[in-house]
Amino acid sequence: MLKIIENIDNNELISPELSQKLATLIVDENYDYSIEEDYYIPDVNYHTANVVEPMKANTLLNKNTSSSFFLESDIFIIPELDD
Amino acid sequence: MNLKNEENTVLNYFCYVLINEILPFEAKYISLRKNKNFTFIRQIIQLFLNDILPNANKLVTKETFNDKYLSKIEQTIKVCKAEYLGLLIKYNIKDKDKSYYNNFKKKYLFKRNNKYGIKNELIEEAIIDLENYLDVGNEIIKKNQLNITDIDKHISSDIYKGELELLNQQIKKFHKYYLILERKLYENGFIKKIDENTINPTDKINNLEYLYFVIIHEFWNFLAHFSMGLIYFNTPNNFLSNLHKSISHLKRAVMDLLDGMIIENNCSYLPEYLQLRVLKISSLGNSIKIQELISRLEKVFTKCLQQNQ
């Protein structure tokens, strides 16, 4: 579990009743909000994504830091760090 | 303990995590990497549309929220945090404070095949350690947060109703046209290129691809303002002001989506569309006129699609 969730104090949140009331108003329960299955986004892998702010969008700058993987799923590689 | 207070809505927890964790993290993360990580952003937008919205008013515990919803992006958050950690060390620690760096490495990292790695369970702790050392933690958000007291007295107020229903309509419109744009960009391979990091530095992007970045930014701003309003709901006015800002970003996203796709489908010569270009200028800042503009843009776009069939 992410720390942020553990640390939530429910007393600091607006009440469930009010929150429910607001949430009910913004959602149409007859509408299908899903994104089609084909479009599932892969997990972010170890890349510094080549994406840009809109104003710089016509020249995409690719930082291109390739990393290899460790096999264990509970270990995360820290790119950009070597010495 | 009051059992009722152990639960809150899926929407509320999502907004809380966005404001207190994801947005501040992302703000620091893009400052270090100098670019937005759009795969990360898209995952969160997808989580919001696919999972959060349809269940927005369900009451759940923190644990359930974590297991059923947040866990879907946990892997991604951890990967981004590992990258963030590396960048933070590279720019602020490595050559500046050797003794802290050496201790930090000893405590949290390990090295194999010339790569540094960190165990899943140590990532959060390592970031807190480093951020405390550099004084860049998220605590300032809490400090700036006004006390939420007695807000339930506003519960009976229906002053939000109209705005929230408007938001309801605009999210559906956004979703509808976002899917069309995404389909196009999947088909032309652009999104795959983003996710797989295979865009070359010399690649030019077309209008539709550019549009994609623009509307993702707008949607991100919508989420930020809406969540801010919900989480810092200290007065009705404060909530309404954030709500207005969020709706305005969402409308902007819908308008840009429609505009972009009308151009892409070679329908920008249509007289109805030319008139809308003029209407757009005369509608600046006028919420009702902008809604009318969106409806008319939708009509032009529908006509355009029929014409192209």
d(CA B35, CA B24): 15
Q: At what angle do helices B98-108 and B123-134 cross, to 10 degrees?
A: 160
Residue B148: its pLDDT value, please? Answer: 58
Q: Which residues of A touch B179 (CB under 8 A)?
A: 35-36
Give B33 or B243, the one with higher predicted confidence: B243
Give the CA radius of gyration of chain A: 20
Using a CB–CB cutoff of 8 Å, tell me whether B210 touches chain A: yes
Residue A76, beta-bridge partner list: B118
H-only helix segments in chain B? 10-17, 23-33, 38-47, 62-65, 71-92, 98-108, 123-134, 139-144, 161-187, 190-196, 207-231, 236-264, 271-282, 287-308
Token pair of B118 as six digits: 């960190």
* Whether the predicted pLDDT of B152 surpasses 70: no
Using a CB–CB cutoff of 8 Å, tell me whether A55 touches chain B: no
Residue B5: its pLDDT value, please? Answer: 60
Residue B115, beta-bridge partner list: B112
Give B155 or B18, the one with higher predicted confidence: B18
Res. B2 pLDDT band, cuts 50 70 90: very low
Q: Above 0.90 for ipTM, yes or no?
A: no
Q: Cβ distance B51 to A40 under 8 Å?
A: no
- Name residues 271-300 of chain B within 8 A of A (Cβ): none
Q: Cα distance from A30 to chain B (closest Cα, Å)?
A: 9
Give A21 or A50, the one with higher predicted confidence: A21
Q: Cβ distance B297 to B256 under 8 Å?
A: no
* Whether the predicted pLDDT of B129 surpasses 90: yes
Residue B134: its pLDDT value, please? Answer: 95
Residue B114: its pLDDT value, please? Answer: 80
Give the alpha-carbon dihedral of B210, B216, B218, B223, to 10 degrees.
180
Mutate to test the interface with B, among A7, A25, A66 (most CBs of B within 10 A): A25
